[in-house]
Chain A
Amino acid sequence: MKKIKLLVLGAALCMAGLAQAAPVAKASSSKITGQETAILTDAPVVPPRITRKHATKVIVNLEVKELEGRLADGVSYTFWTFGGKVPGKFIRIREGDEVEFHLNNHPDNKMPHNIDLHAVTGPGGGAAASLTAPGHSSIFSFKALNPGLYVYHCATAPVAMHVANGMYGLILVEPKEGMSKVDHEFYVMQGDFYTQGKNGEQGLQAFSMTKAIDEKPEYVVFNGSAGSLTGDNALKAKKGETVRLFVGVGGPNLTSSFHVIGEIFDKVNHEGSTTSPDKNVQTTMIPAGGAAYMEFKVNVPGTYIMVDHSLTRAFNKGALGMLKVSGDEDKTIYSGKMTDEVYLPEGTSMRNTGVAQAQAPTAKTKADRIKMGEGIYNTNCAACHQTTGVGVPQAFPPLAKADYLKGAKPAAIKAVTGGLQGKLVVNGNEYNGVMPSWSLNDEEVANVLTYIYNSWGNDGDEVTLEDVKKHRITPVKHEE
C-alpha cells in the first residue's frame, strides 16, 4: 500500500500516474471482460440488478452541480449535488469490476469538489485523485474489491459543509453471487441541513456554519427535502410484494434510527454488509457515512411511514416518508379496529386527556380563554401543528393564517371534537392524513380554539361555550 500513498500525495501534480496504482494483488484473479457505462439513477430509483456473471470495466460519469432547490414548502437552499439532486446518483457495480470514474465539475460552479467513495480501497477513497476545479474533470480508476452498500461523499475542505449541502450518495457493489430478485428496490438517504432561518422560515436559506458546528440542524430529511417521499411522491407497492430499501445516511452529523411504522424488516444487512442478514428487526441504526439495506414483504395494505425514530426529527424536522401498499385487506394478519370500548380501571374514575375536568377553572373573559387554551394546545396539538402553528409540510396542516379556519368556527369545532380524515387543502397545499377526535370538554374546546384564533396572525375570533355546544360532534363512535 505504501507505493499507492506516495503516488497519491502529489495529487495535483501526478494525477495521470494514479490510474495504474489502484489494483492490488487480492483482485488480480477476477478477469475483466468487456466494458459498459454505468446506469445512474436519482432517488428513489435504483439501477437494475446486475445479471452478468463476470467482472467488467465500468465507466461512471458523475457531474457536480451547485444549484438552488426546494428544501421544504416555501423554503429553498443552495444544494451542492452529485448529479443535480440530493442524494447523488445511485451507482451499482459488481464485485471485481474495474471502475473508470469521471468526476466533472460544472463550469458554473464556484467550488472545487472531489469524491471519496467508501467502496474504494486506497488513500482518500479517491478523494486525493479527484480534487477538481470548476470547469474541469478528473479521471481515476479503482477495483471494487469488497462487496457491500457504501456511501460516497465530497471530501473537499471544509468537508462538513460540502456534505451538509447535500454532497453524498450510495454505491452498491453487488457480491459475485449476485443479489436475489425482489419486486421493488428503493433508494432512500437521510441528511441533516443547517439553515440560517428557523425551520419553516420562508425563502432562500443560507447555510449556517454555527448551527452546523453545534450539530443543531433545522431540517432532517429523506432524499433532500421535506416531503420528498410523501403524498404523491410516496413509494408504492402491492400487497404480497417484497420490497428492498437501500438506505444511507449522509449526515454530516446525525445517525438515523431508521424504522418503518407498521412493518418488521424480514432481513437487515447492517452497515451495508453483504454477509448473512439479521432477521426480524424493528429499527436499525445507520451511522453518518454508513448504509444498510433491508427487505420485507408487505402483507397488509395501507400507508407505512418511514421515520428516523429519533422522533422530533420526524415530527418537527422532516424525516418522514411513506410507503403506500395497495391491495385487499387480510383481516387474519391485521384486523383494523374491531371495537372501541370504554375502559374503566379499578378504583379510579375515568380521565381522558389528563386535564382534570371537574375542578378545572372556567374562563371568564376572552383573555382567560386564550391563556387557558395555550396550555391545552401545547399538551394536545403542538406535537403535530407545532408550537408556532406552522404545522409540518405535507404531513400536518398549518393553523397559523390558515384559510381553513377563517370564518369557519363550526368546521373547527367539528374537527376538534369529531376528528378529520382524508384529503384536505389548507393555504393551497394538500394534506391527506388523520386527525383523531379529542376528548375535550366544551370549556376546553372553546379555550383551545380561541387560543388558536388569537395566535399567529389568525383573525382574533372568540369561540364560546355556546358555539361548542351547538357544533360539537359526539366524541366517541362505537362502530367503524
Chain B
Amino acid sequence: MVRVEDMVLVPEGSFTPFFLKRDGTNSSSVPTTSVQAFWLDATPVTNHKLQTFVHKHPDWHKANIKKIFSDSHYLEHWQNQQGTANTADLDKPVVNVSWFAAAAYCEAQDKRLPSTDEWEYTLTDNDRNKENLQKQIMAWYSVPNKELPAVRSKPANGFGIFDMAGLIWEWTADFNSYMAPPDSRNSGDKNLFCGSGSLNASNLGDYAAFMRYSYRESLKGNFTGKNLGFRCAKDAK
C-alpha cells in the first residue's frame, strides 16, 4: 500500500451501500456504489494535531469559536486554563468537535472530510473480515462511554487504515445527505423511524449500519459529541 506521511491511498473499488439511493443509479439487482481512489488519514485526528491547528488558527480556540459553528460542548474535555488538551490525551482521538471545526481543520491541511461513501467503503474493508467486523462494531455500539484509548491501539484493517470501528464516531462531509435529500417532499419513506427505517435498506440484519446512519442523521453541523471525532481525506490526483 502507498503511504505518504500519515495518509494511506485507498484503492478504487465498490461496496454495497447500506441505503440504496433511489436516483436510478443503482436500480440493478446487485446495487453497488463505486468509489474512486482517494487518500485517507490512517488514524482519526488526535488532540495533539487539533491543538497545533488551534494554535495557528485562534478563531477555533474554545474561547473564540463563533456560536453558529459549534454548540456549547466544543472541546469541553480540554480542561486546563489555557484551553488546551490534557497531556495525557494528546494521542487520543479528538472529540467534541463540530463539523465546521473538522472541516476547517482539514482545509488547513489542504485536505477535506471524506464523503460518507468513502468512509463506509473504507469500513467494509472489501469484506475481508465481514462477520468479525460486524461483531466488533456491535460490541462497541452497545456499551456506554468509557475512557478513550489512543489511536492505533488496535491493528489496521486491510487497507492499512486504523480505528474505523470500535473507537469513535466520525464526521463525514455529507453526514446527513442520505436522510435529507434536496426535495424533502418525497422523503417520507426515507426516515429511519420504526418500520419505514427498513424500507430502503440493503441488509436488514446489519443493525450496526442502521445505528451509524441514524447517528449521522441525528447530527447538525454545529453539534459535538463525547464520541464524535473525524479524520481527513484527499483526492488521489
Contact = CB atoms under 8 A, between A and B. Distances in A.
Interface of A: 5-6, 9-13, 66-68, 78, 107-112, 114, 116, 123-124, 127-128, 131-136, 155-159, 161, 165, 206-207, 209, 213
B193 A159 contact: yes
Contact of A133 (B180, B185, B210, B219): B219
B217 interface: yes
Q: Which of A110, A114, A209 has the most C-beta atoms of chain B within 10 angstroms of its own C-beta?
A: A110
Give me the 4 closest cross-chain CB pairs, A-B, nearest first: A112-B218, A157-B197, A157-B192, A158-B210
Given A13-B180, A110-B227, A128-B191, A133 B218 contact: yes
30 contacts: A9-B187, A9-B191, A10-B180, A12-B179, A12-B180, A12-B220, A66-B144, A78-B144, A110-B141, A124-B193, A128-B193, A133-B219, A134-B225, A134-B227, A135-B73, A135-B224, A135-B226, A136-B218, A156-B218, A157-B192, A157-B197, A157-B210, A157-B211, A158-B197, A158-B207, A158-B210, A159-B195, A165-B142, A207-B138, A213-B205
Contacts of B217: 12, 112, 131
Interface string B182-206: 0011011001111101100000010
B207 A209 contact: yes
Contacts, number: 120
Contacts of A68: 143-144
Contacts of A128: 191, 193
Given A67-B144, A111-B141, A157-B210, A133 B223 contact: yes
Interface residues of B, number: 39
Nearest to A105: B218
A253 B141 CA distance: 22
Given A155-B193, A161-B207, A213-B205, A108 B226 contact: yes
Contact of B139 (A13, A66, A67, A206): A206
A209 B131 CA distance: 13
Nearest to A6: B185
A141 B235 CA distance: 45
B145 interface: yes
Contacts of B218: 12, 112, 131-133, 136, 156
Interface in B58-73: 71, 73
Contacts of B226: 107-108, 134-135
A95 B151 CA distance: 54
Given A78-B142, A134-B227, A10 B184 contact: yes
B145 A108 contact: yes
A124 B225 CA distance: 25
Contacts of B53: none
B214 interface: yes
Contacts of B145: 108-110
A378 B145 CA distance: 44
A222 to B, nearest CB: 23
B144 A157 contact: no
Contact of B215 (A111, A127, A161): A111
Contacts of A11: 191
A2 B139 CA distance: 41
B193 A156 contact: yes
Nearest to B143: A78
A108 B143 CA distance: 11
B159 interface: no
Nearest to B212: A157
Nearest to B205: A213
B176 interface: yes
Q: Which of A109, A123, A127, A158 has most chain B Cβ within 10 Å?
A: A158
A9 B188 contact: yes
A1 to B, nearest CB: 12
A12 to B, nearest CB: 6
